Amino acid sequence: MGDTLSVTDNRTGKTYEIAIEDGAIRAMDLRQIRVDDDDYGLKTYDPAFKNTASCKSRITFIDGEKGILRYRGYPIEQLAEKSSYIEVAYLILNGELPTQSQLDIFAHEITHHSIIHEYIKRVIEGFRYDAHPMGMFVSMVGALSTFYPDAKKVHDPQSRQLQTYRLIAKVPTLAAFAYRHTIGMRFNYPDNDLSYAGNFLKMMFCMSNSYTPDPVLEKALDQLFILHADHEQNCSANAMRAVGSSEADPYCSTAAAAAALYGPLHGGANEAVLRMLNEIGSKDNVPSFVKRVKDGEVRLMGFGHRVYKSYDPRAKIIKKTAHEVFSVTGKNPLIDIALELERIALQEDYFVKRKLYPNVDFYSGIIYEAMGFPVSMFPVLFAIPRTSGWIAQWVEMITDSDQKIARPQQLYLGEDERDFVPMRNRGRSISKKLDAKAQSRKGARKK
């Protein structure tokens, strides 16, 4: 029989042979399963895509049970230790590690596209002083679309390449400018002599003209960028692909992806973790907080993952990085609460049974805070490195002959056809229906 699935429709008694390819069946193969000629054909119902592959991809591999994450085949642990974010961005986008000259060209292009148009500053200045930086970030990435109309040529590889450089280069500038706006400080322009992470730190924190990023913090931030660069078909990557599938330009698609990342169940979780740790306040309050989680009152933010059913490998690396950062910044006292939460939670049946472990966001916020980033910048710090992953996902989608505009099916469970009710009859028709129901209930009781 080979790699096939035999399906018998018990409504009709017919059996169908469906091909299995790469461990999956094609949902369209189910369409042939029909009761009669008027039947549309069988569909699958999969809200939240829990068991539906929406694409074929060669970028990122995750084994959630074993806690494995690889970009283009390279284990995340090796990349975090031996590579740089720019090299990893190249790898994710191009499929192979660069040669020295390829890396030099790529780094040069990224560095030299980091300036933003002066008018973008006016967009930023239009925001209130207390605007959330992630809201500003989403808007400004979308606004870039109006500055680069050539980005509409989504089928032109050269145009795609140029927008890729622009996006990866400009996101740190947009992020830092958004932050500076919230604190009412002048914008720091990009410094081409610094690394990607070092330049970002300078744009964020430089108060006078001279600023040298601390090498430990620069390296730690670069490592955090590596860990956040891609994560296959998560909510924001899915948004990138879905919006991009309409052939919207990459700035609009990236803005949509960033908007998806903003939510507290996705990239906003690191912000939520910090707020949660502050609310817990001390190690002594951990047991009562864990009890509230078990009682279903609150979620333990930074725990659990749709894919990882064991320790998130990124969280393991970040936990180590935290201590390196604290050696420079001093210890963030929240780490003790986090460690205690993890210790107690991992002993509890509730978490063990549900396979809930710390995810990437559980420790990242503590490091960011120690580095001086305000909590509201945390999702933005996620969006900066994820931009390379989003673009890689978008390019893969746009060049995949299997892909068409994303357009899921639905199971329609609403009203059948009915006639329009004029306004004057509406209340009456409802009360008439209710009256009729009440009458029939009365009748039933009498019987």
Shortest distance in whole angstroms from residue 239 CB to ligand ACO: 13
Check binding of 304 to ligand ACO (CB under 6 A): yes
Looking at 139, 199, 321, 359, which residue binds ligand ACO (CB under 6 A)? 359
- Active-site annotation holder among 113, 230, 305, 312: 305
At 57, list the tokens: 């991809």
Contacts of 213 (CB under 8 A, 6+ apart): 194, 197, 198, 201, 202
Stretch that binds ligand ACO, among 19-27, 246-254, 353-361, 421-429 (CB under 6 A): 353-361
At 204, list the tokens: 């964020």
Verify whether residue 181 is a known catalytic residue.
no
Looking at 291, 354, 426, 432, which residue binds ligand ACO (CB under 6 A)? 354
Looking at 360, 370, 377, 398, which residue binds ligand ACO (CB under 6 A)? 360
Q: What span, in angstroms and rounded, lies between the C-alpha atoms of 127 and 174?
A: 13
Verify whether residue 155 is a known catalytic residue.
no
Stretch that binds ligand ACO, among 15-23, 24-32, 262-270, 400-408 (CB under 6 A): 262-270
Q: Which is nearer to ligand ACO, 251 or 382 (CB)?
A: 382
Helix spans in 184-307 (H) = 196-205, 215-227, 235-244, 250-262, 269-280, 286-294
Check binding of 305 to ligand ACO (CB under 6 A): yes
Check binding of 309 to ligand ACO (CB under 6 A): no
Rg (CA), the chain: 26
The CB-based long-range contact list for 392-396 (8 Å cut-off, 24+ gap) reads: 392/59, 392/92, 392/93, 392/230, 393/57, 393/59, 393/230, 393/233, 393/237, 393/240, 393/241, 394/240, 394/241, 394/244, 394/250, 394/253, 394/254, 395/93, 395/160, 395/164, 396/55, 396/57, 396/58, 396/59
Shortest distance in whole angstroms from residue 241 CB to ligand ACO: 16
Check binding of 303 to ligand ACO (CB under 6 A): yes
Check binding of 386 to ligand ACO (CB under 6 A): no
Shortest distance in whole angstroms from residue 295 CB to ligand ACO: 10
Looking at 300, 325, 366, 380, which residue binds ligand ACO (CB under 6 A)? 300
Check binding of 316 to ligand ACO (CB under 6 A): no
Check binding of 239 to ligand ACO (CB under 6 A): no
Looking at 171, 240, 356, 377, which residue binds ligand ACO (CB under 6 A)? 356
Number of residues that bind ligand ACO (CB under 6 A): 18
Q: Count H helices and E strands in the chain, helices first.
A: 18, 6
Verify whether residue 361 is a known catalytic residue.
yes
Looking at 152, 299, 309, 331, which residue binds ligand ACO (CB under 6 A)? 299
**If you write DSSP's letter for every residue of 337-397 in order, what string do you get?**
HHHHHHHHHTTSHHHHHHT--B-HHHHHHHHHHHHT--GGGHHHHHHHHHHHHHHHHHHHH
The catalytic residue positions are 266, 305, 361
Residues at the interface with ligand ACO (CB under 6 A): 265-267, 269, 293, 299-306, 354, 356, 359-361
